[in-house]
A and B are shown apart, each in its own frame.
Chain A
């Protein structure tokens, strides 16, 4: 090879995806564990202060990830939609306490339920934001390596799921072809539901067929053979990974400490 790429000169090394370093080069399993730990810290209490502190810290740290604002908004949109919905329903139906604002019989808005709504909304944001932001640019291959090598999940399961993710793009193309084919055949003017059903059926057949071929391809290369499997890529859990877990757990601990100090902690 004349220009074998960046990784070729480093025998025995993993192939870094573009040589990413910094927060983005952290093994995704560390982010996964950290976000889980942060979530546990935040569900211990249901007050406004702890959630607000966590959220503020996260927003301050967010620029380190260098995610374009547009991408971030787009990816967090499900969380941003869920937050007000959660807040409104808790404001209406949360346990009533304190001054009553209005009472419709089935819905009762009080100081207590409003506070609870705010606390919950902040909490969803405080867990959702890092969960989305840290996984925006995760390469599924890296996550799979971590899950299999660090968390010791079965290779068969992890690599099967990885191959399935890769097939999703193919299925997207299939879907567009199916749609065009129906237009070409003169059956796309009416009966949207029925057409959708026939497309879904065809997609299922195509997916099964692809999956079968892929399974044969994987088996023929010794996948699932007895004997120990090695891994071409390293999945390290070193300094950066511990730092990631430390920062996320730290956010949780600081928020708890502040809430306890301010006397708002409610276990």
Chain B
């Protein structure tokens, strides 16, 4: 395929969004020579996405120097010496949310979309579509619907759509942030094939930069309002700026969290193998935290009987809607003070299992039973509990925090749960959580206006405020930089240490390791516990 790689230059470039006081990015001097492959890292808020969108020519709003509230620009960004918006299509952009950027409803049409816009003749379009799908390794019929694709397939579809336009540069904005490990490998290999095919320039932003290090020539560290602070061969930058990178929220390869690093409590090993029939701790001592009278953290810690069973699934089958059965034959126990990680490939029904365990979906078959310790006299079927009974016993943190916000300010949001449960110390709990989660300065902000990391912390805070004995989280760490990740995992570790049972639906092995979680892998034949060597934590 004959394409000429694009040259990208930023000269003292900066951008301020409309109606914002602060510059999203400022003073960037960076040149990407034709065919060069560059990874950009930096803390949240350093303007990495803004930079990529500028190259693709898709920044919103026209800058207007006469209007203070309008967007503002400084310096220049050029693609082959031209304004990026004048040469759209020269730069192919793939973004983080796979769902949101599939345009058409059939695979072939979606790949063809960019070619159509560029005015490519019809016969040539279909040749390009087929060869593009071939390069990214998507072996799907052209008239296959795009609705049921996995995350990895969807990102490769987006890559094929970009490739079919024969771009001079490929720009990737956290393309693997929401993918499971196999999806990450698929996308990585597809990008490598695309680069081999076209020889085009590459700009990639990703928190888990390790994914791309084998493909890039340069690593650039960006600082908020500080421009480029490090630029060079990846190995050199990593060696010289390792701590700075970690501080900036970058997942530096080799600095993964150690097993159990987010737990302070000691834990008797070798429990993972005993998923069933284990002797439970003493009866009734454990009281749901929400109904106890303003007890302090340490009291609640002593109140929870570590290891006490709270939820039991036996032969559980899950279903979305009335007919769509998802997974079956699941046996597992949720225990106080323990972290249960549900892993498995995308689309196997992890989220559905999480929602079922959380009492939000009815089991299609089998039993999900709340033990008397958890039920406290309201029946043992979580799905039949009232909303308040449920909230007092099982809290749920949704994958998209915005689904669960109901109030106008962060403060009110945190107070919703305690108030619904009639807690008298609602205000104290809210103040405590605002401080603990670093949200105090945002107390009066609307939850929808927070950044992704802040929303995630708030979502967890709202559930903790109700002090349920069980907390279920769906992908609590997906797409986060290292700093936000650490904050979330530390919270979860504290919760487990104080006797809460945690169920985390996740594909994040760092989370499993840091929380020293009991891992079950969901598959076609049910949930299989992962057995680990008690001493080393290595999978058997």
A13 to B126, CA, bound (A): 8
A202 to B355, CA, bound (A): 20
Q: Inside 8 A of B165's CB, which chain A residues have their CB?
A: 221-222
Whether A177 contacts B95 by the Cβ 8 Å rule is no
Residue of A nearest to B127 (CB): A11
Whether a CB of chain A sits under 8 angstroms from the CB of B120 is yes
A6 to B107, CA, bound (A): 13
A183 to B358, CA, bound (A): 10
A209 to B97, CA, bound (A): 11
Given the known A-B contacts A11-B126, A230-B115, are A216 and B103 also in contact in the complex, defined by CB atoms under 8 Å?
A: no
Whether a CB of chain A sits under 8 angstroms from the CB of B104 is yes
Whether A219 contacts B88 by the Cβ 8 Å rule is yes
Whether B88 contacts A225 by the Cβ 8 Å rule is yes
Q: Which of B64-119 contact A (CB under 8 A)?
A: 88-89, 91-93, 95, 97, 99-106, 108-109, 112-119
Whether A186 contacts B387 by the Cβ 8 Å rule is yes
Contact with B along A5-29 (1 / 0, CB 8 A): 1111001110111100000000000
A188 to B421, CA, bound (A): 12
Whether A181 contacts B404 by the Cβ 8 Å rule is yes
Whether B142 contacts A141 by the Cβ 8 Å rule is no
Q: How large is the interface on A (under 10, 10 to 19, 20 to 34, 35 or more residues)?
A: 35 or more
Residue of A nearest to B108 (CB): A15
Q: Inside 8 A of B190's CB, which chain A residues have their CB?
A: none
A3 to B462, CA, bound (A): 50
Whether B130 contacts A8 by the Cβ 8 Å rule is yes
Given the known A-B contacts A141-B104, A217-B103, A230-B116, are A184 and B390 also in contact in the complex, defined by CB atoms under 8 Å?
A: yes
A7 to B395, CA, bound (A): 49
* Closest Cβ–Cβ distance, residue A74 to chain B (whole Å): 16
Q: Inside 8 A of A133's CB, which chain B residues have their CB?
A: none
Q: Inside 8 A of A195's CB, which chain B residues have their CB?
A: 406
Q: Inside 8 A of A13's CB, which chain B residues have their CB?
A: 126
Q: Inside 8 A of A206's CB, which chain B residues have their CB?
A: 400, 402-403
Whether a CB of chain B sits under 8 angstroms from the CB of A232 is yes
Residue of B nearest to A6 (CB): B141
Whether a CB of chain B sits under 8 angstroms from the CB of A105 is no
Whether a CB of chain B sits under 8 angstroms from the CB of A261 is no
Residue of B nearest to A220 (CB): B93
| Cβ-neighbour of A16 out of B143, B147, B404 (below 8 A) | B143
* Closest Cβ–Cβ distance, residue A169 to chain B (whole Å): 7
* Closest Cβ–Cβ distance, residue A170 to chain B (whole Å): 7
A206 to B108, CA, bound (A): 27
Whether B123 contacts A12 by the Cβ 8 Å rule is yes
Identify the 8 closest CB pairs spanning chains A and B, nearest first: A5-B141, A186-B391, A217-B101, A221-B114, A222-B117, A188-B387, A12-B123, A186-B420
Sample 17 A-B pairs with CB under 8 A, ordered by A number: A4-B133, A4-B139, A4-B142, A166-B105, A181-B404, A184-B359, A184-B398, A185-B404, A185-B416, A198-B406, A216-B60, A217-B158, A218-B103, A222-B89, A223-B117, A230-B119, A231-B122
Known: A213-B97, A216-B60; 19 extra A-B contacts, CB below 8 A, are A2-B139, A11-B123, A16-B143, A166-B105, A186-B421, A189-B386, A202-B406, A210-B100, A219-B57, A221-B92, A221-B114, A221-B162, A223-B113, A225-B88, A225-B89, A227-B118, A227-B119, A230-B115, A232-B109
